[in-house]
Structure 1
Amino acid sequence: MNTEGFHQGERIIQRLAGVVDEADRLQGMLQPPHLTGGLSTVLAGRSFAVLTARDHHGARWISPISAEPGFLVAGGTTLTVHAAPATDDPLHSVPVPQHIGLLAIDFGIRRRIRVNGKLTSRSADLLTVHADQAFGNCPSYIQQRHLTTARMSACTANPGHRQVQSNPDTGALGDADIELISNADTFFLGTTHPTRGADASHKGGQPGFVRVDDGEIWWPDYAGNNLFNSLGNITVDPATALLFIDFTTGRTLQLSGEAKVEWLDTSTCQDEGGTGRRVRFTPRRIRGGQIPLRGDLLSFSPHNPAVIKSPEA
């Protein structure tokens, strides 16, 4: 896979945003990685990650993976994941080979690392990834949480159990789905490029920063590192996945669909992020589930913009 420099979608967004020079100074982050030293140590200490890939039907999803610290073992250009998505997750039996994106995050210290590459092998609880890119992101918009492991009841542990009101066949959101999305301060985003691979990223803000509008979901794009990995991918390939987690109950909501980047006239549109950009997502498939994690909120990110209560849709 060609990993040299930015791809055409990332360049389009950078030019429209007027940050080409700023992005060029960060191109070294996209070089082939060496998963050794500090990077390996940070990955080894994580207990939570998300994985984005396609299922056997070609639909893109992003799925949670949780295990005791040490389940992410890195060395050279190989990342070995000693865990897998839950048995009722659409990526539990993820097809091999394919390009995937993985994000490991520690909410307590607001640290995250992205690993993009090719899934080369899979067994029941073992994934092997050849990494093409690996780099850290700034702590902005990460809400500080203390994660703990919760016991799963017989009801929630049943792979056939769904505590959602959504229609998985039509992508229609139910009332409980809309409530979870509208109250979220965190979600995860999975995107892809046809030749440059997949990417998993974290999005955060004050509760209410994600909106549901006539069956579609949209959120403002806040200022970041100017790489525009996610928005660049969406510009080329709209296939997108979202993951929402209720950290109080462990409930999860996974959505597979298409997204597009919208550019706004900041002089006439309420734009809390001040970037003139937002992303609009149309769900096509929905899955609800449960994970054995809880997350006590310690503090919101000081970088979160205030949410405009009645934004223009």
Structure 2
Amino acid sequence: MTDVGFHAGELAVQRKAGTGQEAARLSPMLEPVQLSRGITGFLAERTFLVITGRDGDGRLWTSPVTGPAGFIEVRSATELAARASPPEGDPLHGIAAGQKVGMTAIEFAARRRVRLNGTLTAADDGALVVEIEQAFGNCPQYIQQRLLTPDTVRAGEADVRRDTTLAPEDVELIRHADTFFLGTINPERGADTSHRGGPPGFVRVDDGGLWWPDYQGNNLFNSFGNLEVNPEAALLFFDFPTGRTLHLSGTTRIEWGPKGRPGDDAQTGRIARFTPERLVAGRLLPAHEIAHVPYPRNPVLTPHTQRLR
């Protein structure tokens, strides 16, 4: 039987943020799932899925999984199959079954997304099968509208760089990004993949690590709740015009401080600071952007002249 309701980490962050009542009203979203007709229809048309899980060494990563419309199939009220898998060179290539995974299916052009969490019951080169335990939609906030077109050419294993520190080209990609995906995991409840968006430059890089201000969301704090009890985190960045990817694996801590301090763009008082431990850089997204419209209500970047504390 899957645990339901908020776990201790989510409740702790909700209390600190003062959003417990708002979150409680949304708690039915976390009850045992039955994949609805609406979610099933949405997934049937998607071409872009992001998954968080562990590699063969137990390290957490977040990776894209793409395919033509229809590659995501809902087989039953609780089972989903994606007829694709992370390609060679991706840190989750060959991901093993029997582990908890978190996924987000997203349609950038329509600014729609669904989060799906569960257990990976089967995995091979051609398909991933997941027994779904949570499935719920998220609001369209901070999703930049973009149209992607498939690419037939993709970098191979020889073109992928593995490292422990950010190179100048990695820093440039991060500082120009308006979107990334955040993977977290709770040892008892499982993994989660969330979308993060903002104006280019909302993710700052300093001292070999990076940080970003937390924006107002649905008040559930699924990601931050996981980080409250387990700092493991995986970040996935894209250069959408070229298909370049940057996978980061490390730890994240939440810093609480005065609302509106330098760099706290949305005035929530929350900053997430990530320390990378491993990275994989390459061109592992088999698509590129052909049109782009920024989210119209992105917070305005605020100046920051010193490291936040």
Residue 233 of structure 1 is matched in structure 2 by 226
Residue 169 of structure 2 is matched in structure 1 by 176
C-alpha distance in 1 between matches for 2:2 and 2:34 = 17
Residue 128 of structure 2 is matched in structure 1 by 127
Residue 192 of structure 1 is matched in structure 2 by 185
Pick which of 300-309 and 134-143 moved more: 300-309
Write the mapping of 1:145-294 to structure 2, written as runs, cut at 5 A.
Answer: 145-152=146-153, 156-162=154-160, 168-169=162-163, 171-266=164-259, 268-290=261-283, 291-294=285-288
Contact 1:270 1:312 in 2 (8 A): no
Q: How many residues align?
A: 305
Q: Name structure 2 gaps, 5 residues minimum.
A: none
The answer to whether 1:81 aligns with 2:79 is: no
Cα pair distance change 1:267/1:310, threshold 3 Å: closer
C-alpha distance in 1 between matches for 2:171 and 2:263 = 22
Matched residue type, 1:295: E
Residue 310 of structure 1 is matched in structure 2 by 304
Matched residue type, 2:94: S
Residue 10 of structure 2 is matched in structure 1 by 10
Matched residue type, 2:5: G
C-alpha distance in 1 between matches for 2:260 and 2:253 = 21
Provide the TM-score with structure 2 as the length reference: 0.96
C-alpha distance in 1 between matches for 2:290 and 2:231 = 34
Cα pair distance change 1:280/1:148, threshold 3 Å: same
CA drift at 1:312: 4.0
Question: Which secondary structure does the structure 1 equivalent of 2:158 belong to?
Answer: coil
Give me the CA root mean square deviation: 1.3
Matched residue type, 1:76: A
Percent identity at matched positions?
Answer: 49
Question: Which secondary structure does the structure 2 equivalent of 1:14 belong to?
Answer: helix
Contact 1:188 1:203 in 2 (8 A): yes
Q: Name structure 1 gaps, 5 residues minimum.
A: none
C-alpha distance in 1 between matches for 2:302 and 2:288 = 28
Pick which of 104-113 and 72-81 moved more: 72-81
C-alpha distance in 1 between matches for 2:91 and 2:260 = 42
The answer to whether 1:54 aligns with 2:54 is: yes
Question: Which secondary structure does the structure 2 equivalent of 1:272 belong to?
Answer: coil
Contact 2:179 2:195 in 1 (8 A): yes
Provide the TM-score with structure 1 as the length reference: 0.94
Pick which of 267-276 and 178-187 moved more: 267-276
Cα pair distance change 1:94/1:267, threshold 3 Å: closer
CA drift at 1:15: 0.2
C-alpha distance in 2 between matches for 1:72 and 1:293 = 17
C-alpha distance in 2 between matches for 1:284 and 1:178 = 15
